[in-house]
Chains A and B, each alone.
Chain A
């Protein structure tokens, strides 16, 4: 039946749908779009390689700076989040009393604090890193604490009874069981760190990416606007993929 009907594979359906949407966008933008506001993908690609995006050293510097901010905020969030998470999750009392506060903070829309963060840290990279950090650190704390909770109490008790030190318990029992939830945390933290950095970048319109999106929007250059956003979207996908690849590597090691 399969051979006779030859149903399309999921990957084929996926790529044909994406191709159809791109063609639809191209056609709709050319036929009905106001060129002051809408650009077809072909013009976006031309803007991308043209002098306005990769040909403009100031813009490429701003894009590079945004990437550096994302990576810095993510690394800081992971280091701080893991440390705080381990401190909270180490004891039952710590977890039960402090974890609800973490969950409460995690549920809040941090964007309400964005103007305050800019006031405190200024218009430069510091505020972007700070806002990315506060977005990324909470999921790391949450998944670290949940991961430590998954550690078998039997293993802990037997290790302690054989005289393992706190450090040895962490190294040989707690860390290995935490691998899965750690990666869930890393993926969430990456995507939220990116959100924080981008929010702060777009909020400040006097420098950085926000400056360019503002200029391109106000001077009716949609192709250039799309191109900047496209570069950042590709950067975000790439950073997410890197975390995914590292995870795949670790899972393979765990299975074999």
Chain B
């Protein structure tokens, strides 16, 4: 037993060492190839240049307004996607007939790149945030509605029958059976939906827009100014990783209580 635990501990040590080595190699290589001018600085600027650029960007007003536009668009789009996704998912998922009628259509639509339809959103809603909000809401709707359907349709009918036979009202059945049973699956849909909404807003801004983070990245690329472009990319990656860690933490907390 003890030997096994020791071996496990040693394995964890080796794993951490390898992970540290990977990170060190990646950053080391970044310093090295840019320092030795082995790569076109347009494709990969030096880490310090990116850092300086990041510091400079953060002192500009444009930085915060671009961030604000993207945050606002994502928030509104996500609110629409979550409300519509849960409402439709609840209505469809509670009926087995509607579930088998509509689920294949929704799943099939979600498997095609909805980005295809983005030009239509620009034509209809213009270059401003409205087209990104509509597009982000549409893309985020699918994982949420699909997971909500899965959550509500996956509830064991036995629970429902026994509750009814004991005289539970509709509201009581909803409160004590449907919602607790479906919640974990719905929650994971809400999480996936958030990141898809964010990526879609960002994608819409990158494709055609006059404002926002996606537009800023595309704009710096147009100017062939790569340090600020990389600074923006670093921001996006940091925000994504940060939000992911934050949500994981919340889920762990909720799971423990």
Contact = CB atoms under 8 A, between A and B. Distances in A.
Chain A bound to chain B:
yes
A171 to B, nearest CB: 27
Contacts of A167: none
B112 A112 contact: no
Interface string A1-44: 00000011011011001100000000000000000011000000
A113 B105 CA distance: 31
Contacts of A176: none
A136 to B, nearest CB: 12
Q: In which size bucket is the chain A interface?
A: 35 or more
A143 B218 CA distance: 32
B116 A236 contact: yes
Contacts, number: 148
A163 interface: no
A97 B124 CA distance: 48
B229 A109 contact: no
Interface in B151-185: none
A97 B21 CA distance: 10
Given A107-B195, A111-B206, A112-B217, A37 B124 contact: yes
Contacts of B203: 109, 111, 114, 199
Contacts of A113: 233
B223 to A, nearest CB: 11
Given A116-B43, A194-B112, A13 B97 contact: yes
Contact of B116 (A92, A216, A233): A233
Contacts of A11: 101
A203 interface: yes
B229 A116 contact: yes
Contacts of A216: 119
A111 B202 contact: yes
A7 B98 CA distance: 12
Nearest to A212: B119
Interface in B79-133: 97-102, 104-105, 108, 110-113, 115-120, 122-124
A8 B198 CA distance: 39
Interface of B: 11, 14-16, 18-19, 22, 42-43, 97-102, 104-105, 108, 110-113, 115-120, 122-124, 195, 198-199, 202-203, 206-207, 213-214, 217-218, 220-222, 224, 226, 229-230, 232-233, 236-237, 240-241, 244
Given A10-B99, A198-B113, 16 more contacts: A38-B124, A97-B18, A107-B241, A109-B198, A111-B202, A115-B218, A115-B221, A116-B43, A116-B226, A119-B42, A191-B110, A199-B113, A217-B119, A229-B117, A229-B120, A240-B108
